[in-house]
Amino acid sequence: MPSPLKSNSMQQNISDNTVNNGVIAAVRGSIVDIIFNQRVPAIHNIIYAQNRQITLEVVAQLSNQKVRTIALSATQGLARGMVAEDTGGPLKVPVGPSTLSRMFNVFGQAIDGKEFNSEIASRSIHHAPPALTNISSELQIFETGIKIVDVLCPLERGGKAGLFGGAGVGKTVLLTEMIHNMVSHQQGVSIFCGIGERCREGEELYREMKQAGVLDNMVMLFGQMNEPPGSRFRVGHAALTMAEYFRDDEKKDVLLLIDNIFRFIQAGSEVSGLMGQIPSRMGYQPTLGTELSSLEERIANTINGAITSIQAVYVPADDFTDPAAVHTFSHLSATLVLSRKRASEGFYPSVDPLQSNSKLASSSVIGERHYRVAQQVRQILAQYNELKDIIAMLGLEQLSIKDRDIVTRARRLERFFTQPFFTTEQFTGMQGKFVTLEQTLEGCERILGGEYDHYPESALYMIGQISEAINTQTDRSNEPINGAKNER
């Protein structure tokens, strides 16, 4: 005779396998309340309604029979009294090599118009962060091939870097260039997660990556801005599940690009408002810190491989004290601040060298030479920044010889840090350049040493390594050499 314990577990298994249907009690936009008479679904369970056309996720248990759900798809046609079916599990997305070169939505459905085998292995989007015992403590530099990033704010392998900037300063372009360089030079896997993206941007990115020949080692997921907030709120978790497969099972390095992490916070704010939660500071959800941590803490460098994440962060009204920007800052190991002023002056990438920083920028991590060059570059650019007001009022001629040398070298450094990108070749007509850290450090040292003081500033604009300026100098030998006559 079976023991009572075994008997109870058998009854539980039988009841778990039975169909658990409920009835819709209320529909308020994307929030749907459902009553279940058999058993209450667990938090994060997926519930289907209207012949599986509408997908809902349980976010709260209101009583021993009633649950509150958030819609992951549009709720048009949903009405009280309709039957809802509990799937008994959370949302799952496909994982594995067959996802490469494809484009998906939050449900793991291919949206690139091609056939996709939906029978492949799938995993829940809700995972715990890796255990502390599995996290690697070794600090390694992630080389991007972008000069100003590698020298002044080096990225950490397995770390998180933020791209801060308002609209139109080049966040998406910088992200796509890093995808190209990761796939082309580091033989890793790139995953692009578009949260609240325009459908036009997704289509353009897909086409550009295909033309660049890097699509074969890339996966794209999109929660478009016209989709319900629940879909945008969960697409980041879906992308991380795919990234974790390549890191833990395939033991590969993964570059996870998120554009835009602010839209994730914004979607959470919409969900919170729909749930009726009391808003916190500046109208954000009271659970902002917890929700962001549940996503960010899954990005880590483990003994198997690393997920390196670069996240575009829209800064509302360019206000860096906004709670969304402040909470995101706390998770990042490097910060790239994009300057609207530099973009307007034609300095691309428009990374602000004085506001951008990295926790890795110490001599014990990046080495004595790299640290010394970075400090000298920052110092000379900061001094030039202070001298700009004097130059505007009195002119360059009123400065001392020492200050004039600072201005000359700072202006050449600014132009040397510009770089033509592979992903913008069709717009600029200039061939993209990948510059190694060693080549960039050499160029900075030669400019700081005064070797290029007599070259026209234009000779160093939009080049790769410093040796390319020699050819440019030959072609433009008739241009004025004095930096004051070359003011932009």
User: Catalytic residue positions?
Assistant: 171, 197-198
C-alpha count within 13 angstroms, C-beta hemisphere, residue 12: 6
Q: What are phi and psi of 250, to 5 degrees?
A: -85, -15
Q: What are phi and psi of 245, to 5 degrees?
A: -60, -50
Kindly tell me the sign of the dihedral angle through the C-alpha atoms of 341, 465, 371, 405: negative
How many other C-beta atoms can be found within 10 angstroms of the C-beta atom of residue 474? 9
H or E segment at 94?
A: strand 92-94
- Alpha-carbon distance of 33 to 70, in angstroms, equals 9
Buried b (16+ CB within 10 A) or exposed e, 1-14: eeeeeeeeeeeeee
Q: Which of 374, 388, 397 is nearest to 341 (CA)?
A: 388
Helix (H, G, I), strand (E, B) or coil at 455: coil
CA 401-407-408 angle, to 5 degrees, is 85
How many other C-beta atoms can be found within 10 angstroms of the C-beta atom of residue 176? 25
What is the distance of C-alpha 64 from the center of its chain? Answer: 40
